[in-house]
Structure 1
Amino acid sequence: MHQHLARTVTAALFLGASAFVTMPAQAAPADPSSPTVFAHRGASTEAPENTLAAVRRAHEQHIKWIENDVQRTKDGALVVIHDATLSRTTDVEQVFPDRSPWRVADFTLAEIRRLDAGSWFAPRFRGERVPTLQEYLTLLDRDQQGLLLELKQPELYPGVEKQTVDALEKAGWLDQAHLAGRLVIQSFSADALRRTHELRPAVVTGFLGSPPVSRLKEYAAFADQINPDEKDVTYAYVQAVHSVDGPDGKPLRVNAWTVDDLTTAVRMAALGADGIITNRPDVIRNGVQ
């Protein structure tokens, strides 16, 4: 174990998570052997999730990777939002009171653009909008950030795998620079990942879940990563995943979600997780890197 990470683990075990709270926001350069930190829906404890504001805040925190969720509108636009309905994170119930259950797929992009996606989080974010995937990609490119893109409930949106891949290509995200270290597509749907891999084998893919060890080779035919709930992460499981090569001939990687406390983050690092997906990216980054 790298010396810095060993000190971090020891501190967590003997001093508890509070030992890290006072660390400065400007962290030292990342330890290359420590886990990659992914900002879950952006810096989503400090700005409304899956908005451009959350991406900008993560950039201010020097977070290099952003996780998001992609769904499709009634008129075929790809938008960045987690829930299949608009009610939790927008004012759709006030703007369109007669459109229950307010599914994303039942609204056009123009209608969704009318919604406030920020006031629910804090008054200062009033007027923040649900971004399109294109808007999201443009901002990430400007700041040279990587994207962990989740195909959200792809069974609701037939053909969304090809549409997403086509949108990424149009935005310039399927060139060597992006494919080599700035893009991962993940999903809870093995079928969606399989289709994505068949469409573009060079795109790194991650399966969200914890397949049994006996089936890891099956998943390795189309997934480069196994991304489990942190509750399912054990040393033996991580070692089993790492022992299997993915479609690119490299060992499968493990990104654990969703880890928001330092004690758990340090434990994930000690167990060998390659990445940590978190709503508190600055805090977790400062604790494990």
Structure 2
Amino acid sequence: MPSPHPAIVLPRLIAHRGLSAHAPENTLAAVRAAHRAGCDWVELDVQLLGDGTPVIWHDATLKRCSDSRGKLVDLDLPRARRLDVGAWFGDAFRGERMATLQEMLALIEALDMGLNLELKVNRGRSAAALVECVVPTLLETLPAQRLILSSFDGNALALARDLAPAERLALGVLFEGIPRSWRQRCEALNAFSVHCDWTRLKKAQAQAIADEYRLLCYTANDPTAFAPRWGWGVDSVISDDPERFANHLPN
């Protein structure tokens, strides 16, 4: 029989990469903004610098969200610290620095927030190195009731499950479109949740998933277009701007 999962109370709304419609994504500023906006949970990405330091960052490269170019894998922490990762978004965030995992977890803990952390295994990077660095730190820092670890990378999730049983670590399986093998993949990991692209989700798929797992949809920013999916069994929406959904939630 599958092991029980943590007693996670999911909110209807989760802030995508922090409050990324109003602050630079995956930064301490974006998480503080999400907290001020009343969000209880945030979704963030983690990967490793070239020196093995885990940082909160989405892309394999630096261009989109910093004042520099190049690849994340070519940075060590001192060089990463010199990047401005806020000015691209707006002058109010000039001088924002790339957050390490330790710094972000300290903030999440201080704000008493929940975290959906995505293991971002970009091309050419080691899933094992990322998991071995990140998972022990998560287990030491956050209670199981406020943590979901997710990934598109099945190997990363399998390695994470080897390090922690289901009752200690909730795993979320990330999909774009839902494949026919979704159930087998979830069962193999004793997964807690399925996370999928809301625009590609079908009603029958959603209902089947919701019968067995928690169902989270990313990245929805149009509450009117999303509205029918609440009736399909969706538990939570991951949104750049959760405040848009304030008057559009199911009872």
Same fold (TM over 0.5): yes
1:158-190 CA distances to partner (integer Å, 9 max, x unpaired)?
A: 4211211122134x22xxxx21x2100000111
1:190 and 1:62 mapped to 2: Cα distance?
33
Query: RMSD across aligned C-alpha pairs, in angstroms?
Result: 1.8
* SS of residue matched to 2:237: strand
- The residue type paired with residue 132 of structure 2 is K
Counterparts in 2 of 1:269-280, with a 5 A limit?
269-280=230-241
Out of 132, 153, 159, the residue aligned to residue 129 of structure 2 is 159
1:193 aligns with 2:121: no
**Residue 239 to residue 213, structure 1, CA distance change in 2 (3 Å):** farther
Counterparts in 2 of 1:46-125, with a 5 A limit?
46-93=22-69, 102-125=70-93
* TM-score after normalising by structure 2: 0.88
CA shift, 1:285, in A, is 3.9
1:226-269 CA distances to partner (integer Å, 9 max, x unpaired)?
A: 111012222211121133xxxxxxx3111011100111332221
1:168 aligns with 2:134: no
* SS of residue matched to 1:287: coil
Counterparts in 2 of 1:135-154, with a 5 A limit?
135-153=103-121
* SS of residue matched to 2:25: coil
Q: Is the 8 A contact 1:35 1:269 kept in 2?
A: no
1:218 and 1:46 mapped to 2: Cα distance?
35
Percent of residue pairs identical:
37
Residue 219 of structure 1 corresponds to: 186
1:67-95 CA distances to partner (integer Å, 9 max, x unpaired)?
A: 000010111110001111111111114xx
1:192 and 1:91 mapped to 2: Cα distance?
30
1:208 aligns with 2:174: yes
The 10-residue stretch of structure 1 (154-163 or 108-117) with the greater mean CA deviation from structure 2: 154-163
Residue 282 of structure 1 corresponds to: 243
* SS of residue matched to 2:230: helix
1:259-280 CA distances to partner (integer Å, 9 max, x unpaired)?
A: 0011133222122211111101
Q: Is the 8 A contact 2:11 2:40 kept in 1?
A: no
- The residue type paired with residue 162 of structure 1 is E
CA shift, 1:195, in A, is 1.2
1:186 and 1:231 mapped to 2: Cα distance?
19
Residue 6 of structure 2 corresponds to: none
Aligned length: 236
1:114-168 CA distances to partner (integer Å, 9 max, x unpaired)?
A: 0100000001110001100111111111111000000012661342112111221
2:171 and 2:131 mapped to 1: Cα distance?
12
1:163 and 1:211 mapped to 2: Cα distance?
29
Of the two, which has the highest radius of gyration? 1
CA shift, 1:213, in A, is 4.1
* TM-score after normalising by structure 1: 0.77
* SS of residue matched to 1:228: strand
Q: Is the 8 A contact 1:44 1:54 kept in 2?
A: yes
Q: Unpaired runs of 5+ in structure 1?
A: 1-32, 94-101, 244-250
